[in-house]
Structure formats: C-alpha cells, structure tokens
C-alpha cells in the first residue's frame, strides 16, 4: 500500500493492484487515512498465508 503524488496523475493511493484517487488535506489526515486503510487491509487479509 502506498500514497503518492505522481506528475500528471496528482494525489492517489495504491492498495494492492488497485489505484484510487486521494485528496491530500494535511499530514494529520493522511496519517489517519493511511492507518484506517492499513487496518482495513489487515482485517480483509487476516486469513492469507503468504
């Protein structure tokens, strides 16, 4: 998972193979959003045995 700002794409995030738009508002909001996405990803992948 990563959030980034790429030339010609703007702010967006990658979760697995999917790319989603993201509107950057502040560092504090970014950290909260990242934490929520990580918890969601972990909860959704708890049964994986990679």
Q: Please state, in angstroms and rounded to a whole number, the distance separating the CA atoms of residues 23 and 44.
A: 24
| pLDDT tens column, 11-50 | 999 988 899 999 999 999 999 999 999 998 888 776 666 5
37, 13 Cβ separation under 8 angstroms: yes
Give pLDDT, residue 4.
93
Nearest 5 degrees, angle CA 40-CA 12-CA 44? 15
In the chain, DSSP finds a helix count (H) and a strand count (E) of 1, 3
pLDDT at 41: 85
């Amino acid at each position: 998972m990563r959030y980034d700002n790429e030339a010609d794409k703007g702010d967006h995030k990658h979760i697995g193979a999917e790319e989603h738009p993201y509107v950057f508002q502040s560092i504090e909001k970014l950290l909260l959003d990242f934490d929520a996405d990580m918890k969601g990803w972990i909860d959704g992948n708890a049964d994986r045995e990679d």
